[in-house]
Structure 1
Amino acid sequence: MNTECKESFAKSSHPLRITLVAAVAKNGVIGTRGRLPWHLPADLRHFKALTWGKPVIMGRRTFESIGRALPGRRNIVLTRDPGWRAPAQVALARDRCEALTLAGQVPEAMVIGGGEIYRLFLPLADRLELTEVDLSPSGDAYFPELDPCEWREVSCEFHEAEGDRPSFRFRRLERRRN
């Protein structure tokens, strides 16, 4: 599917901003065996603050790794598995456009992973909310590579390493408009 779905939202009376939210290691790793390769309580609080009250779109494996619907948010799970059944509190989408439609008439939809879902939505994204973690762990899930010419940084907040927790930064990037 191309950008027709996003364009139809943009032309509507209620345009939708698509924001990708991810914690990413220096080597692009976002996960290993269905888990985050770090534990950063400040990042979890930041994630909750960014996504609270907004629809969150995620892949089936991300949903299963979380283990439950995230409270205070409309949970939309995107899967190609025809046999997968969503729990009662979760909306099921079979493609990107259906996921955006299920998000409803809201100002912003948050895409929260995993790697395949980030790749699928990156061409439509308006904003990236990245936690860049100063580690290079091994992993099996990666954030897609970004073209720096397409994005501009609008904010960056650095956090020092603390105990066994690595340093990290919260970065907000917005798509450059030509």
Structure 2
Amino acid sequence: MTGTAGRPEIRAIAAVTRNGVIGADGDLVWRNREDFARLKQLTMGGVLVMGRKNYESIGRPLPGRESYVVTRNPDWSAAGVRTFASVDAALDAAVATGRDVWVFGGGEIYAAAWARTTWLEITEVDLAVPGDVYFPRIDPAYWQEVAREQRVGFSWVTYRRTAAEA
């Protein structure tokens, strides 16, 4: 999906519980094989922009996608990934590839990319769980739900940004 002037849109993808939690103790709070398959289908061929802790929880680059890792540590590196000192630098480089750009977590990365994010692919998980990593609030004043697919215990929801947040 491309935006104005054929430039890629910046999209975020996440599984979010009713209370906004996406992670706890360095791990996901919810796992579902069907959701992982959808994530793979949506992001295949794209560029994933993620934080170092999120990358380390995965442990490797995901096949068929390019991994851009944001880290404050200039000495950190991992085989098969590009590193960046800021979210904006990673997003700029990802957009320049002309490929689909996916903000892939964690919480600080979603927050830092929020103003530039134009689409959300959210798995709304019908649970409220404790955690220490949260997804930004999806304010209906700035985001319009454009698609919803109800599943057992969760929904896949697509949002489009309708206005810049103040």
**Alignment TM-score, normalising by the size of structure 2:** 0.91
Q: Does the alignment pair 1:169 with 2:155? A: yes
Separation in 1 of the partners of 2:161 and 2:148? 16
Tell me, what secondary structure is at the counterpart of 1:148? coil
Separation in 2 of the partners of 1:132 and 1:38? 11
**Alignment TM-score, normalising by the size of structure 1:** 0.85
| Residue type at the aligned position of 1:98 | A
Tell me, what secondary structure is at the counterpart of 1:149? coil
Measured on the aligned residues, the alpha-carbon RMSD in Å equals 1.7
Separation in 2 of the partners of 1:117 and 1:173? 18
Q: Report the Cα offset of residue 14 of structure 1.
A: 4.3
Equivalence map 1:51-66=2 (5 Å): 51-66=43-58
Q: Does the alignment pair 1:47 with 2:42? A: no
Q: Does the alignment pair 1:36 with 2:28? A: yes
Residue aligning to 1:92: 83
Tell whether the 8 Å contact from 1:119 to 1:144 is kept in structure 2 after alignment.
Answer: yes
Separation in 2 of the partners of 1:56 and 1:68? 12
Q: Report the Cα offset of residue 16 of structure 1.
A: 2.6
In the alignment of these two chains, the number of paired residues is: 161
Moved more, 136-145 or 31-40: 31-40
Q: Report the Cα offset of residue 35 of structure 1.
A: 1.2
Q: Which structure has the bigger radius of gyration?
A: 1
Tell whether the 8 Å contact from 1:32 to 1:141 is kept in structure 2 after alignment.
Answer: yes
Moved more, 17-26 or 146-155: 146-155
Residue aligning to 2:69: 77
Separation in 2 of the partners of 1:140 and 1:71? 28
- Deviating beyond 3 angstroms after TM superposition, the runs of 4 or more aligned structure 1 residues are none
1:68-123 CA distance string (max 9 Å, x none): 111100100011123322x2310001112320233133153000100000000111
Segments of 5+ residues of structure 1 without an aligned counterpart are: 1-9, 161-166
Residue aligning to 2:60: 68
Q: Percent identity?
A: 41
